[in-house]
Every structure is written in structure tokens, then in C-alpha cells.
């Protein structure tokens, strides 16, 4: 297997996992949500993240009334509000299920440690965690660029049009943003808000990528063990006791995968719904502002929202594909060469594989590429209808 050249040259997958986990922990620690800390407690960074979420929500309502009836400014206000809604959901469920994340990190670490001396499995797990790490850095870079586009917006407007604008359309009550002092204070608040927001969203999306992406490793190891069992059954010198232990181990792995998928669905069902909803609204509003007023940060916002939506749908598709892989591998096993007690175990496993867990948009629709394409088609249709309506009004 070819290794990715953009990451350190580790030979063991667990080393790459620890390296990637360190990158994740730096981001989550920045917003006070590093649940790997022993006896984690609510700290001042967590409180700061909560404070910014609360203030953005309050300021969004205030500024909606302040800018009314300026439709374009209200649309600008809706962007940080939708990001705030997404952040609050991830912050709440992250803190609520903090013990789950700690246990899951340990599950994944044990997977890598267990197979570090198995050449084939170690190679697969190493390549997987390398890809997850590269994706994590790319997402962080994208969200950082999105934040920088907002920070650069006032500078560009000043030099290009000699116009004083705020980074975000969020004015602070009792602070005159039209004065020099008030303008500086408001923009400083926006800078801090953007930095914290980018770090928090990046951390949350990297964690779900690691959680769901690691399922690929569990399934690949399961498939490898099933293939080993199949070869044992065809061997002329069969060791029945060893085969029985292998069947027991495989059934345990299958049960573990089912539990892992159920845990992911339970913890992320609401988060997925909110993220899909806010990503769609982000794409629609940003497209509208770009088309109508050439809103500069809107270009990066469209890309970031698009990638967020695509990321979730890809992860849901990966989950579905890997479940199908389990079913196919189990079906192809020559289970009829096993003893009757062992056959029952495999047949029961095959039966459970028929009703696997899927990631969903709040339980309303499956989260996969088909849903992504459907959403994009509807966004395009509704956006074109809106543009035609506005052009007729003019």
C-alpha cells in the first residue's frame, strides 16, 4: 500500500493514531472540551465558549430588529446565528456525552494496539488513520480560510471602496460602531468570536470524522478475520478448537460493531439534523448575498457549508458501504463447513446484518450521497426561482 507523503512516516498505526489525537486535542482544548483530561471539569475556556454562543444568539435578535427592514443585513445576521445554533448543539451534546467520547477514543486506541503486529491489518489501519489526519487538516484549513475571509472583509472594503464595514453584521448595544472607538471595540469582539467559532466547528467536525472513519478500521479487521476463518475451513489439517475460538471472536467483533454504530447514531442524530439544516441555510443565504451584493465572505461561506454537508453525507455513505461489506463477507463465508453450534452463530450474525444502523438526518432521511445530490438539486431549483422572481420585480 502507498503511504501518504504529507504525514510523518510512522510504521505502526497506533503511533499515527496518537499523533492525530494530539492534533484533535489541541483544537478541543482551545474551546475547553478536551474530554481526554482525567476528571474533566467545566473550565473557563468552556465558559468562554458558552458565553460567546449566548451573546451571538442575543445579538442576532437585537440586530435583526436594528437592521429591519434591510433584507441584506438581516441575511448577514442570519449567518452567525446559524453557526451559533450549530455550535450550541455540538457544545451541549459534546459535554453531555463526554464519557462516551473518552470510552470511544480508548476503543479505537485498543484496536490499533491489538493489531500492531499483524502486518496486513496494521497496514490498513495505518493508511486509514493517515487519511483521516489529512482530511482533518484540510477541514481545519478550509474553516480557517472561511474565518479569514470575514476578517479580511473590513480591510478590503476600506482599501477598495473607502467604506467602513464590520467583520460581522453584529452591533453591540450601547457601543456606537460608527465611531472610531466603537468600531474598533466591535471588530475586536468579532475577531475573538471568529477565532473561537472556527476552532470549535473544526474540532467538532474532526471528532465526528475520526469516530465514523474509525468504523472502517473495525470492519476491515473483521473482514480480514473472516477471510482467515474461511481459509482455515479449507485447510486439510483443521484445528477445531482454534476454529471455535475464531468464530467466537468474530461474533464478538460483529456485536461490537453493531453497538459502536448504535452509539454513533444515538449521539449524533440531533447534531446531524442541525448541521444539515444550518449548512443548507448557509449555502442558500451566502449564494443570495453573493449574487445580489457581491458579499465577499460569501464565497468562502458557500464552500465551507458545501463541504460540511458533503462531509456528513460521505460519512453516512461510508457507514452504509461498510455495513454492506459485513453482509457480503458473512454471506460468502463457507459456514456450512462449520459445526452446527458455530453455524447458528454465523447465521444469527447474518440475520442481524440485514437490518444495520444508518446515519440519518434527525431520523427523517438517510444521510448519504443520494440525499446530498437531492439537497443540491433543490437548492439550485429554489435559488433559480428566487432569482427569476427578483428579476421580474425589478
Question: What does the pLDDT read at residue 391?
Answer: 72
Distance CA 84, CA 59 (A): 11
Three-state secondary structure readout of 128-142: HHHHHHHHHHHHHHH
Residue 3 has pLDDT above 60, yes or no: no
Question: Per-residue pLDDT tens for 193-230?
Answer: 999 989 989 998 999 999 999 999 999 999 998 888 88
> DSSP assignment, residue 4?
P
Question: What does the pLDDT read at residue 5?
Answer: 46
Cell match 478500521: residue? 217
Question: Per-residue pLDDT tens for 272-329?
Answer: 999 999 988 889 889 989 988 888 898 999 999 899 999 999 998 998 898 889 888 8
User: What are the residue ranges spanned by the domains of the chain?
Assistant: 13-393
Question: What does the pLDDT read at residue 6?
Answer: 52
Nine-digit cell string for 211: 469516530
- Start-to-end Cα distance in the chain: 59
Distance CA 87, CA 108 (A): 25
Nine-digit cell string for 89: 448543539
* Residues shown for the chain: 394
Rg (CA), the chain: 25
Give the list of residues 6+ apart from residue 85 with CB closer than 8 angstroms, or none.
Answer: 274, 278
Among 284, 266, 272, CA closest to 364 = 272
For residue 243, give Cα distances in angstroms to 247, 339, 342, 352: 6, 10, 9, 22
Distance CA 30, CA 220 (A): 33
Question: Omega of the bond prior to 69 within 30 degrees of 0, cis?
Answer: yes
Distance CA 111, CA 2 (A): 22
Nine-digit cell string for 238: 483443521
Phi, psi of 92, rounded to the nearest 5 degrees: -65, -50
For residue 76, give Cα distances in angstroms to 149, 286, 294: 14, 8, 12
Mean pLDDT of the chain: 87
Q: Work out the percent of the chain whose per-residue pLDDT is above 70.
A: 97
Instruction: Note the helical H segments in the chain.
Output: 13-30, 44-67, 71-96, 98-114, 119-161, 180-233, 240-293, 296-332, 340-353, 369-393
Q: Work out the percent of the chain whose per-residue pLDDT is above 90.
A: 38
For 331-364, the DSSP string reads HHS-GGGS-HHHHHHHHHHHHHHTT----BSTTS
219, 250 Cβ separation under 8 angstroms: no
Distance CA 72, CA 119 (A): 58
pLDDT band at 59 (very low <50, low <70, confident <90, very high): very high
Nine-digit cell string for 312: 456528513
Distance CA 225, CA 234 (A): 15
For residue 346, give Cα distances in angstroms to 243, 332, 339, 351: 13, 11, 11, 9
Question: Per-residue pLDDT tens for 7-27?
Answer: 567 899 999 999 999 998 898
pTM over 0.85: yes
Nine-digit cell string for 27: 483544537
Distance CA 166, CA 97 (A): 37
Question: What does the pLDDT read at residue 170?
Answer: 92
Q: What is the number of alpha carbons within 13 Å of residue 305 lying toward its C-beta?
A: 27
Amino acid at each position: 500500500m502507498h503511504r501518504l507523503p504529507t504525514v510523518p512516516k510512522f510504521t505502526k498505526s497506533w503511533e499515527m493514531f496518537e499523533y492525530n489525537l494530539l492534533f484533535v486535542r489541541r483544537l478541543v482544548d482551545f474551546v475547553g472540551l478536551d474530554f481526554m483530561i482525567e476528571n474533566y471539569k467545566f473550565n473557563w475556556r468552556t465558559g468562554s465558549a458558552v458565553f460567546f454562543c449566548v451573546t451571538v444568539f442575543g445579538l442576532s435578535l437585537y440586530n435583526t430588529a436594528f437592521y429591519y427592514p434591510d433584507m441584506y443585513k438581516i441575511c448577514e445576521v442570519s449567518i452567525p446565528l446559524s453557526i451559533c445554533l450549530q455550535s450550541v448543539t455540538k457544545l451541549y451534546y459534546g459535554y453531555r456525552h463526554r464519557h462516551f467520547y473518552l470510552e470511544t477514543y480508548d476503543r479505537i486506541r485498543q484496536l490499533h494496539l491489538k493489531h500492531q503486529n499483524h502486518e496486513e491489518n496494521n497496514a490498513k489501519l495505518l493508511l486509514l488513520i493517515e487519511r483521516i489526519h489529512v482530511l482533518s487538516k484540510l477541514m481545519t484549513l478550509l474553516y480557517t480560510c472561511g474565518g479569514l475571509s470575514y476578517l479580511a472583509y473590513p480591510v478590503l472594503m476600506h482599501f477598495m471602496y473607502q467604506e467602513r464595514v464590520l467583520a460581522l453584521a453584529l452591533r453591540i448595544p450601547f457601543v456606537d460602531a460608527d465611531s472610531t472607538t466603537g468600531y474598533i471595540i466591535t471588530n475586536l469582539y468579532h475577531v475573538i468570536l471568529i477565532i473561537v467559532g472556527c476552532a470549535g466547528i473544526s474540532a467538532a467536525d474532526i471528532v465526528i470524522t475520526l469516530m465514523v472513519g474509525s468504523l472502517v478500521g473495525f470492519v476491515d479487521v473483521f473482514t480480514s478475520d473472516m477471510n482467515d476463518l474461511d481459509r482455515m475451513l479449507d485447510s486439510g489439517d483443521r484445528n477445531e478448537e482454534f476454529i471455535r475460538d475464531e468464530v467466537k471472536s468474530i461474533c464478538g467483533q460483529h456485536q461490537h460493531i453493531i453497538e459502536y454504530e448504535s452509539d454513533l447514531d444515538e449521539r449524533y442524530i440531533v447534531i446531524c439534523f442541525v448541521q444539515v439544516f444550518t449548512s443548507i441555510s448557509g449555502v442558500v443565504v451566502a449564494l443570495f448575498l453573493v449574487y445580489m451584493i457581491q458579499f465577499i465572505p460569501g464565497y468562502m461561506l458557500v464552500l465551507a457549508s458545501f463541504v460540511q454537508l458533503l462531509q456528513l453525507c460521505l460519512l453516512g455513505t461510508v457507514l452504509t458501504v461498510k455495513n454492506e461489506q459485513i453482509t457480503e463477507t458473512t454471506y460468502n463465508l463457507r459456514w456450512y463447513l462449520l459445526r452446527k453450534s458455530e453455524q447458528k452463530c454465523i447465521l444469527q450474525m447474518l440475520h442481524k446484518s440485514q437490518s444495520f444502523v444508518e446515519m440519518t438526518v434527525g431520523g427523517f432521511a438517510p444521510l448519504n450521497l443520494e440525499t446530498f445530490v437531492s439537497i443540491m438539486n433543490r437548492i439550485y431549483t429554489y435559488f433559480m426561482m428566487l432569482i427569476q422572481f427578483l428579476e421580474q420585480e425589478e
